Structure 1
Amino acid sequence: MDIEEFRAYCFSKKGVSEDFPFDEVTLCMRVMGKIFAITGLDREGFQVNLKCDPDYAVELREQYPEVQPGWHMNKAHWNTVDFEGSLSYQLLQQLVDHSYDLVAKSLKKAEREALEKL
């Protein structure tokens, strides 16, 4: 999955926006204003930081060398995923879905209700 496929997949979900809040090369994907994915556009290779359940994060890291503790993130809750490695397209989509779902579930009730109406 390349950056454009990643962006298109993220935008296929409800309430998604993107921005560059930190600098001109750090792309953040948000659901209802909360970050669920971060990637640096200035790096070699395409890696994305994705939110993850802590137990599932450990399992993924043990099973796949392409999944590492989140770079510059809370390592218990974020993974850095190599999108150019050998992970299947389907697994990459599942990891994006998992991150999106975790963040969407953490939204305030009014935000969750607004998201459901989109």
Structure 2
Amino acid sequence: MRADRLRAFCLEFNDAVEDFPFGPGVSVFKVAGKMFALSSLDATPLTVNLKCEPENALRLRAAYPAIVPGWHMNKRHWNTVTVGELPDRMVRELIEDSYDLVVAGLPRALRLRLG
């Protein structure tokens, strides 16, 4: 998956927006003001930080060398994924899981609005 595809996929989710709170080189993808993905889209290799349930995060890290504790993030809840070292489908599933976790933590009214 290339950076443009990663960006496009992150923006496909309901209410997803791209923000640059850390400067122009770091894309932060949010839903209802809460981050679900963070990436320096021009970096090589391309990586993305994604939220993950703690037990699943440990399992993924043990199974895939391309998934490590989240860089500059709460390592219990975030993974850094090296995008080009995993199948595109898996990267998309990890992004979707991250989005879903963030949405699940939103107030009920917001969750209902997002569908």
- Aligned partners of 1:64, 1:38: CA distance in 2, in Å? 20
DSSP 3-state at the match of 2:94:
helix
What is the identity percentage for the equivalent residue pairs of Structure 1 and Structure 2?
43
Hey, what's the Cα distance between the residues in 2 that align with 1:101 and 1:2? 23
TM-score, L = length of structure 1? 0.92
Residue 12 of structure 1: how far off its partner (Å):
1.7
Counterpart of 1:112 in structure 2 is: 111
Alignment gaps of 5+ in structure 1: none
- Asked if 1:67 corresponds to 2:67, the answer is yes
Counterpart residue type for residue 104 of structure 2: K
Distance in 1, Cα, partners of 2:47 & 2:77: 16
Residue-pair matches, total: 115
Kindly provide the CA deviation profile for residues 8-51 of structure 1, in whole angstroms up to 9, marking residues without a partner as x. Answer: 11122111000101211111001122100001245321000000
> Is 1:101 aligned to residue 95 of structure 2?
no
Segments ≥4 residues shifted beyond 6 Å: none
**Paired amino acid for 1:54:** P
Q: How does 1:1-118 map to 2 (within 5 A)?
A: 1-41=1-41, 43-85=43-85, 87-116=86-115
- Runs of 5+ unmatched residues, structure 2: none
CA distance in 1: counterparts of 2:89 and 2:47, whole angstroms: 16
How far apart are 1:68 and its partner, in Å? 0.3
Report the RMSD for the aligned CA atoms in angstroms: 1.1
How does the TM-score come out when normalised to structure 2? Answer: 0.94
Give the distance between the partners of 2:54 and 2:65, measured in 1 at CA: 17
CA drift at 1:81:
0.1
